[in-house]
Amino acid sequence: MKDQILQKATDMFLTLGFKSVTMDDIASEMGISKKTIYQHYSSKDALVKASTTNLFETISCGIDEIILSNKNPIEELFSIKEFVMKNLKDENTSPIYQLQKYYPKIHKSLTLKQFEKMGCCVIDNLQKGIDLGLFRNEINKELISRFYFAGMTSIKDAEIFNPEIFKSKVVQSTYLEYHLRAICTPKGINKLEQLLKTNS
């Protein structure tokens, strides 16, 4: 039952927002009493924390599998973007915004975990691209990995990128292209443009 509650809560949080969904909503959706939820999760904060942790671990495992599939580094970034968006329901910015605003400690903890995970992945991706002649060999990997993470974090800010004006999928795709065009060699640009045609 604990796992079922976690799955349902995560699904509802991502669809409707971490603040918008109440414990009553989850209980009603599952056809159980609120008391049953509290037997497994002492508070809504505890459920939000468990939900974000579970989601982070699911996405981390999926990213690891994509990396192990040994795609070229440009394809790898496209695959990771698609996988993450699918798991975050096309990354509706509202839930992320609500998490940051109403659960700042949980949001900060999650961001730090994301940075640890993503920092290593991006540096490895950059090195692979340099080795294959797809990325410029003079780029500063430590700095570029931080630029990339900072950008990925900021494009989720609903106040800057109002989802009613800027569709999340378009923002994500444009940002990835922006990142790659800055670091690719002519060989990498050719590969990127082939992928953009395929994904358009």
Domain boundaries, the chain: 43-199
Residue with tokens 């990354």: 91
Does residue 33 sit in helix, strand or coil? coil
Look up the pTM and report it.
0.87
Please tell me the distance from the alpha carbon of residue 107 to that of residue 103, in angstroms, as a whole number.
Answer: 6
Percent of the chain with pLDDT over 70: 98
Does residue 155 sit in helix, strand or coil? coil
Average pLDDT value for residue range 75-86: 91
- What Å distances lie between residue 22 and 31, 45, 48, CA to CA? 14, 11, 11
Mean residue pLDDT of the chain comes to 92
What is the pLDDT at residue 90? 59
Average pLDDT value for residue range 88-93: 62
Which two tokens mark 164? 């009613």
Question: pLDDT confidence of 139, banded at 50, 70, 90?
Answer: very high
Quick one: which of 175, 46, 20 has its CA closest to 101? 20
Residue count (the chain) = 200
What is the pLDDT at residue 26? 97
The CATH fold assigned to 43-199 is Tetracycline Repressor; domain 2 (1.10.357)
Contacts of 171 (CB under 8 A, 6+ apart): 155, 161
What is the pLDDT at residue 151? 94
What is the pLDDT at residue 153? 87
Q: Are 188 and 74 in contact (CB under 8 A)?
A: yes
